[in-house]
Structure 1
Amino acid sequence: MGISTRNHGDGVAEIVMDVPPVNALPVQGWFDLADAVRAAGRDRETRAVVLRAEGRGFNAGVDIKEMQATSGFEALVGANRGCSEAFAAVYECEVPVIAAVHGFCLGGGVGLVGNADIVVAAEDAYFGLPEVDRGALGAATHLARLVPQHLMRAMVYTCRTVTAAELHAFGSVLEVVPRDRLPAAALAVAAQIAGKDPYVIRRAKEALNGIDPVDVRRSYRFEQGFTFELNLMGAGDRHRDAFVSEGAP
């Protein structure tokens, strides 16, 4: 369990999140994920990366229980820095990253998927930012890469979710497949990329990042500043305590 990497013989690296019960990553988990993605991209034998998860859903964001069980602000700061590093690792990975999403993709999960190059999703996948209900802000930077501007704002304000089918209609999800076919579908896309000239693909990734209109690192860091403000004003603890007291997983 935790974060693991499997290197396939065809140049595809498969990184798997397996952190029961809901893949809500603790602080160290975000840094471990960032390290795994960066290591895969630096490996000259890697031509594409698949990022997927085991369990009930792709990712439920940060481990709020860990945060509330830690005195002071160390866990809050650690989670923010860890998320920032993991999201950036996906975006800056030297080779394309294919996110394979099933079940829930919430909070930090949206940060990972929004920064991926390609998204393949299971029919049961859904995406959302519950941050407002948790007294936080963040990952709207990445949600804006998946949905149109006005829907992004509605999702942030209301915490509503969207389905894989909706994202497929927008073009931000490449394929929607039955859940049992998800790993194979993502690996098939990765294998197609891995069959190209690896030098050209690495330069293509660099070029596409270079023409991106938004600096995702800076944009996300700006959002995080408001999370710190909410915490200083007491809203963060109030909403996180309520979440924990509800007995949420």
Structure 2
Amino acid sequence: MSEQSMVVQRNKNAVAWLTINRPEAYNALSLECMQALIYHLKDIAKDRSVRAVVLSGSGKGFCAGHDLKEMTAEPSEALYQQTFSTCVELMQTIQQIPQPVIAKVHGIATAAGCQLVASCDLAYAADNTRFATPGVNIGLFCSTPMVALTRAVHRKQAMEMLLTGQMIMADKAQSIGLINAALAPEQLEEHVTEIAEQIAAKSSYTLKVGKEAFYRQADMEQAEAYAYCSQVMAENMLSEDAQEGIDAFLNKRQPCWKGR
């Protein structure tokens, strides 16, 4: 399977739909698969016609985590370092591209697959989806998934998942903040499409500014965050799209975004 075919992309209504295409392996994140995702995401980042991204998995589940068969076929520290550094690049790319990334989750999302969900800006799941960070069960603590998980959910909830390795259902994942909503499987596609297209109707410039500021301020002290975000808003106010949006609001018309 070629690098590109491991990830399938289709664009519709300013939304890029990315599907991990390894159904025979529960969409496990092999090196090539992660590299393909990074390639697509970085390419999307340069495409001004795309204003939102939906990430999903083919077959029976969203993503089962790293490809353990690949990692144990010819074990070496160099392979492990490359695997985990590529995983880190993938998770950071999701949060660094200007477009919001929405996870559409079904079946299972475990280990690095759960990390993938936690790294996306928004996440919606079928209500029969199961989530876990089960590395502890096989002697491999989910340390890199822990980074994303502890930034998405309460620490004690994250620790319970990491220490027990137990599966949790979508309703629990929603209650702890790992996903935005759990929906009936037949409603998932329609709901995610509605959210993605609602976001894609906004100014691409404003989305870029807001997403970047969200992640930068999250690790700041409150006073520093307010100072930074005040400057961001002042600069945002001077943009063409903010001027257009305010004028459209005051004059009760639809805005015409320029993306700047």
| TM-score grouping bracket, smaller chain normalisation | 0.7 to 0.9
Question: 2:191 aligns to what?
Answer: 185
Larger RCO (CA under 8 A, 6+ residues apart): 1
Instruction: Give the AA of the match of 1:212.
Output: A
Q: State the one-letter code of the partner of 2:181.
A: E
Distance in 2 between the 1:172 and 1:51 partners?
15
What amino acid sits opposite 1:68 in the alignment?
T
2:43 corresponds in structure 1 to: 39
1:43 counterpart SS class: coil
The alignment status of 1:148 with 2:151, answered yes or no, reads no
What is the identity, as a one-letter code, of the residue corresponding to 1:203?
A: V
Instruction: Check if 1:76 corresponds to 2:64.
Output: no
Aligned to 2:165: 159
Relative to structure 2, which stretch is displaced further, 114-123 or 134-143? 134-143
Q: Partners in 2 of 1:16 and 1:183 — Cα distance?
A: 13
Deviation at 1:166, TM superposition (A): 1.2
Taking the TM superposition and a 5 Å limit, the aligned residue runs for 1:83-162 are 83-136=87-140, 137-162=143-168
Q: Distance in 2 between matches of 1:50 and 1:11?
A: 11
CA distance in structure 1 between the partners assigned to 2:216 and 2:89 by the alignment:
19
Q: What runs of 5+ residues in structure 1 fail to find an aligned partner?
A: 215-249
**How much has 1:18 moved relative to structure 2?**
1.5
- Aligned partners of 1:66 and 1:75 also within 8 Å: no
Q: Secondary structure of the residue that 2:147 maps to in structure 1?
A: helix
Amino acid aligned to 2:156 = H
- Alpha carbons 1:51, 1:98 under 8 Å: kept: yes
Distance 1:34 1:133 in 2: 29
Alignment match, 2:180? 174
Quote the Cα distance in structure 2 between the aligned partners of 1:92 and 1:65: 30
CA shift for structure 1 position 213: 1.8
Q: TM-score, normalised by structure 1?
A: 0.80
* Alpha-carbon distance between aligned partners in 1 of 2:203 and 2:75, rounded to the nearest angstrom: 51
**What is the deviation of 1:71?**
4.2
CA distance in 2, matches of 1:147, 1:206: 20
Identity of aligned residues (%): 29
- The equivalent of 2:17 in structure 1 is 14
- Cα shift at 1:173: 2.2
Map residues 26-65 of structure 1 onto 2, 5 A cutoff: 26-65=30-69
Contact persistence 2:117–2:178 (CA under 8 A): no
Deviation at 1:59, TM superposition (A): 0.5
Residue 175 of structure 1 deviates from its aligned partner by: 2.2
Helix, strand or coil at the partner of 1:124: coil
Kindly provide the amino acid, as one letter, of the partner of residue 32 in structure 1: A
User: Which whole-Å CA distance do the structure 1 matches of 2:139 and 2:43 have between them?
Assistant: 34
- The verdict on how the C-alpha distance between 1:143 and 1:73 changes in structure 2, with shifts beyond 3 A counting, is same
**Aligned-residue offset at 1:138:** 2.2
Query: Hey, what's the Cα distance between the residues in 2 that align with 1:90 and 1:183?
Result: 21
Aligned with 2:153: secondary structure? coil
Alpha-carbon separation, structure 1, partners of 2:132 and 2:176: 15
Question: Match of 2:73, as an amino acid?
Answer: A
Q: Distance in 2 between matches of 1:147 and 1:163?
A: 15
For residues 110 and 43 of structure 2, what CA distance do their matches in structure 1 show?
25
Q: In 1, distance between residues paired with 2:79 and 2:193?
A: 35
Which of 212, 223, 231 matches 2:218? 212
